[in-house]
């Protein structure tokens, strides 16, 4: 071992190195901690002994991993039975603990699906003789947990892709999309029937057998069995023609024509693939983009970009493997993956073992697959370029604001701005909003709303005083104890009067007045003419219409206003329907709620109903009706 490689372990506690040397050659998960007992990194290994030792036996230089290794003082390991179990445990820990040095992808797996409900033959027909909604399959956009009672197709990369697929099924097979309540109450065909987008099963315009045949054809089409569907429809058309049923034959001929036209517009290229994911990675400027394109049922549905954090000088293959291991544990994985970089075979096998799907990862595709990969790579380049341009612009705005206001900030990334706004309608449902900006972007998870109570309606000064006291009173105590940190800048949406209130609150709490800046609207309240008002006595400042600093101030101020407005409107709507929601009333479950809404035409109708009217709804007793009546008033 060279002197250089020996120098690395010399920086670590002897107890840690002894623990590393004693690790077993078994699969497992390892966790590194720093001197403050903060989790640094989570990793998996086929052999804990070899993998963990590799961190301490070579110099990693100034890379992200090198910085991480230099901070390790403690190690924890968990031995498991297989690499598949290690993969699952590793990514559960990464998602829940978010280690500082792991490549992390945002946990956004809420993909949309296309759902086709299954008909229930046990449900009786309606009194009119028309079928009940439960007897007739429906095609619908769906997002959420799937169950075995219905058929789901996807996932799709976007809502637009699902809507497009639904339109295809409406054009070709005329499947219904209406809600069950609408279906059950139809007495004549709707507009969709008139424009040939629905076959009218609600009023018996098509037999149950024929409709179900169209549903089966639609599901085969979504599974990629295009030629089989075309052949079956053509066979039915010829059978009708032989029986001289020319009207029915013409309908099927039109269906074949519509299907052929749609498939031509979709530019379907059949290469034997049904479900494929194409993954392209681009790393540049300390940022990365993984572009995921989806092929389902032989149709290219579009793509979706992912931007991980904690990427420094990582190789694209490392980013890709991190995406694979984190993404496909929660999302259905297709049998074929086409990747821009080679993927470790052990990782593919672990995913196969964990998901139960035999996965084939292809690194250098040919023909149509190569075209798909080139498209995905081009989109990854475009998306990453856009991200870098946006972040560069935001960083420039942050720097401009710091310079314009002469703020003392050691790290631009850590600049924290909090902005407040008051919103109400003639004093009704007054709410204050607080939005937060740091790391060059708005941090929606840290936004807060405050219900303002005990003030004269419409008194914005009293509302501002209340929200600032509630926001900073406890923080002021923590700051004085040396345990808290105030924001670098507190923006107030308002002029001299609002800033005066903020100054009084900060003086009473013993806080620094120089942090308070008011955003006063300019002449004619025109955007770009705003002036900044200071609580510490400085003169007003007009930064200029084209100032990058003013652009950032306006961006933060507008977000605070938007957040306050949406909260106020929601509170006002709640008050105007009685101050409570139906689902908040004890004894009202989903079924009773649905019956009430259907009977009275909506929440406002329920709120206006008398006790006697409420009792007329099935399942609503006199006591419950009185409870509802009181709760909604």
Instruction: Measure the CA–CA gap between 2 and 5, rounded to whole angstroms.
Output: 5
Question: Is the distance from CB of 150 to CB of 116 less than 8 angstroms?
Answer: yes
> Which residue, 368, 325, 387, 369, is CA-closest to 350?
325
Q: Give the model's confidence band at 435: pLDDT under 50 very low, under 70 low, under 90 confident, else very high.
A: very high
Task: Determine the pLDDT at residue 522.
Answer: 73
Domain ranges of the chain: 3-97, 117-266, 276-387, 412-575, 578-631
CB-count burial class (<10 Å; 0-12, 13-18, 19+) for 145: exposed
Q: Using CA atoms, how far apart are residues 228 and 550, in angstroms rounded to an integer?
A: 62
Checking if the pLDDT of 453 tops 90, the result is no
378 vs 273 pLDDT, higher one? 378
41 band by pLDDT with thresholds 50, 70 and 90: very high
Q: DSSP 3-state assignment of 555?
A: helix
Q: Which of 308, 327, 197, 193 is nearest to 262 (CA)?
A: 197
Average pLDDT on 429-444 reads 89
Q: Please give the average per-residue pLDDT across 166-195, as a whole number.
A: 87
Mean pLDDT along residues 372-390: 88
Assign domain 276-387 to a CATH class.
Answer: alpha beta
pLDDT greater than 80 at residue 110: no
pTM of the predicted model, to two decimals? Answer: 0.61
> What is the fold of 412-575?
Nucleotidyltransferase; domain 5 (3.30.420)
What number is the average pLDDT over the span 420-444?
86
Residue 419 has pLDDT above 90, yes or no: yes
DSSP secondary structure of 189-212: --HHHHTTS---GGGTSS-HHHHH
% of the chain beyond a pLDDT of 90: 23
pLDDT-derived band at 418, boundaries 50, 70, 90: very high
Q: Which residues, listed in sequence order, are joined to residue 139 by a DSSP beta bridge?
A: 116
Closest by alpha carbon to 615, among 595, 590, 585, 594? 595
Indicate if the pLDDT at residue 470 is higher than 80.
yes
Q: Is the pLDDT of residue 612 over 60?
A: yes
- Strand 28-33 and strand 39-45: the pairing is antiparallel
pLDDT score at 501? 95
Per-residue confidence band for 427, with pLDDT thresholds at 50, 70 and 90? low
Rounded to 5°, angle at Cα 498 from 529 and 524:
25
pLDDT tier at 259 (50, 70, 90 boundaries)? low
Structure confidence at residue 108 (pLDDT): 58
Mean pLDDT, residues 602-624 taken together: 82
| Residue 418: half-sphere exposure toward Cβ, Cα within 13 Å | 20
Residue 172: per-residue pLDDT: 82
Collapsed DSSP state (helix, strand, coil) of residue 612: helix
Q: Which has the higher per-residue pLDDT, 604 or 508? A: 508
> Which uninterrupted H or E stretch holds 484?
none
Coil/strand/helix, residue 308: coil
pLDDT tens digit string along 264-284? 444 444 445 578 999 999 988
Instruction: Report, as an integer, the average pLDDT of 473-481.
Output: 86
What pLDDT is attached to residue 282?
A: 92
**Secondary structure, 3-state, 28-95:** EEEEEECCCCCEEEEEEECCHHHHHHHHHCCCCCCCHHHHHHHHCCEEEEEECCCHHHHHHHHHHHHH
Can you read off the two tokens belonging to residue 199? 């076959």
The answer on pLDDT for 548 being more than 90 is: no
Residues 493-544 pLDDT 10s: 988 999 999 999 999 999 989 999 999 987 666 667 788 999 988 888 888 8
Q: What is the pLDDT of residues 146-176, one digit of tens each?
A: 777 889 887 888 888 888 888 888 888 889 9
CATH architecture of 578-631: Orthogonal Bundle (1.10)
Mean pLDDT of 111-136: 79
Confidence at residue 3, expressed as pLDDT on a 0 to 100 scale: 39
**Between 480 and 510, residue with greater pLDDT:** 510
For the chain, report the end-to-end CA distance as a whole number of angstroms: 81
Give the Å distances, CA to CA, from 30 to 103, 182, 202: 16, 56, 59
- Segment 354-367, tens digit of pLDDT: 888 889 999 988 88
Alpha-carbon torsion 338, 343, 347, 350, what sign?
A: positive
**Residue 109 pLDDT grade (very low, low, confident, very high; cuts 50, 70, 90):** low
Q: What does the block give as tokens for 397? A: 């705005």
* pLDDT for residue 572 is more than 60: no
Determine the topology of domain 3-97 in CATH: GIY-YIG endonuclease (3.40.1440)
Span of 60-69, 194-203, 412-421, 515-524 with lowest mean pLDDT:
60-69
Average predicted confidence (pLDDT) for the chain: 83
pLDDT at 581: 65
**52-95: pLDDT as tens digits:** 998 888 776 666 778 888 889 999 999 988 888 888 888 888 88
pLDDT value at residue 266: 47
Two domains, one topology: 276-387 and 412-575:
yes
The total of other beta-carbon atoms located within 10 Å of residue 552's CB is 24
pLDDT tens-digit profile of 292-343?
A: 998 887 777 888 898 888 786 678 888 998 898 888 877 788 889 999 999 8
């Amino acid at each position: 071992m060279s002197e250089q490689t020996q120098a690395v372990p010399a920086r670590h506690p002897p107890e840690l190195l002894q623990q590393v040397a004693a690790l077993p050659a078994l699969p497992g998960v390892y966790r590194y901690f720093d001197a403050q007992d903060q989790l640094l990194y989570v990793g998996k290994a086929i052999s804990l002994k070899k993998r963990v030792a590799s961190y301490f036996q070579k110099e990693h230089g100034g890379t992200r991993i090198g910085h991480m290794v230099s901070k390790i003082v403690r190690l924890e390991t968990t031995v498991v039975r297989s690499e598949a179990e290690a993969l699952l445990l590793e990514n559960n820990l990464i998602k829940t603990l978010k280690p500082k040095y792991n490549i992390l992808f945002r946990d956004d797996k809420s993909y949309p699906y296309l759902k086709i409900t299954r008909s229930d033959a046990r449900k009786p027909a309606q009194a009119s003789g028309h079928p009940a909604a439960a007897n007739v399959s429906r095609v619908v956009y769906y997002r959420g947990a799937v169950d075995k009672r219905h058929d789901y197709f996807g996932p799709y990369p976007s809502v637009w892709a699902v809507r497009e697929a639904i339109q295809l099924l409406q054009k070709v097979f005329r499947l219904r999309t209406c809600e069950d309540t609408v279906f059950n109450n139809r007495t004549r065909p709707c507009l969709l029937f008139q424009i040939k987008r629905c076959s009218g099963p609600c009023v018996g315009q098509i037999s149950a057998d024929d409709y179900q045949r169209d549903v089966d054809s639609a599901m085969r089409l979504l599974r990629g069995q295009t030629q089989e569907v075309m052949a079956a429809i053509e066979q039915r058309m010829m059978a009708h023609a032989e029986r001289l049923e020319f009207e029915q034959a013409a309908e099927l001929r039109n269906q074949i024509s519509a299907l052929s036209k749609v498939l031509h517009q979709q530019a379907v290229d059949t290469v034997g693939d049904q479900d494929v994911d194409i993954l392209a990675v681009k790393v540049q400027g300390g940022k990365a983009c993984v572009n995921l394109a989806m092929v389902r049922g032989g149709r290219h549905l579009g793509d979706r970009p992912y931007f991980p954090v904690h990427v420094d000088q990582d190789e694209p293959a490392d980013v890709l493997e991190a995406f694979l291991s984190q993404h496909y544990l929660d999302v259905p994985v297709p049998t074929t993956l086409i990747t821009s970089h080679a993927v470790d075979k052990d990782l593919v096998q672990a995913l196969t073992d964990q998901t139960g799907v035999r996965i084939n990862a292809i690194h250098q595709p040919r023909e149509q697959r190569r075209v798909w990969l080139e498209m995905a790579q081009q989109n990854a380049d475009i998306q990453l370029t856009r991200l870098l341009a946006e972040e560069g612009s935001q960083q420039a705005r942050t720097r401009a604001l710091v310079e314009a206001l002469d703020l003392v900030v050691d790290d631009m990334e850590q600049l924290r701005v909090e902005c407040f706004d008051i919103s109400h309608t003639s004093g009704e449902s007054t709410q204050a909003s607080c939005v937060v900006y740091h790391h060059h972007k708005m941090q929606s998870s840290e936004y807060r709303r405050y219900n303002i109570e005990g003030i004269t309606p419409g008194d914005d000064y009293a509302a501002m005083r209340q929200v600032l006291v509630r926001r900073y009173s406890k923080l002021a105590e923590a700051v004085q104890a040396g345990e808290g940190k105030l924001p670098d800048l507190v923006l107030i949406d308002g002029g001299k009067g609002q800033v005066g209130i903020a100054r009084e609150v900060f003086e009473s709490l013993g806080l620094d007045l120089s942090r308070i800046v008011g955003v006063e609207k300019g002449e004619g309240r025109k955007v770009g003419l705003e002036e900044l008002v200071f609580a510490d006595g400085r003169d007003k400042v007009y930064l200029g219409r084209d100032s990058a600093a003013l652009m950032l101030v306006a961006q933060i101020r507008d977000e605070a206003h938007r957040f306050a407005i949406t909260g106020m409107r929601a509170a006002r709507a709640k008050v105007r329907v009685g101050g409570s929601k139906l689902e908040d009333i004890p004894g009202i479950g989903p079924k009773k709620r649905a019956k009430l809404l259907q009977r009275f035409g909506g929440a406002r109708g329920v709120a206006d109903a008398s006790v006697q009217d409420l009792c007329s709804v099935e399942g609503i007793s006199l006591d419950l009706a009185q409870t509802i009546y009181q709760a909604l008033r």
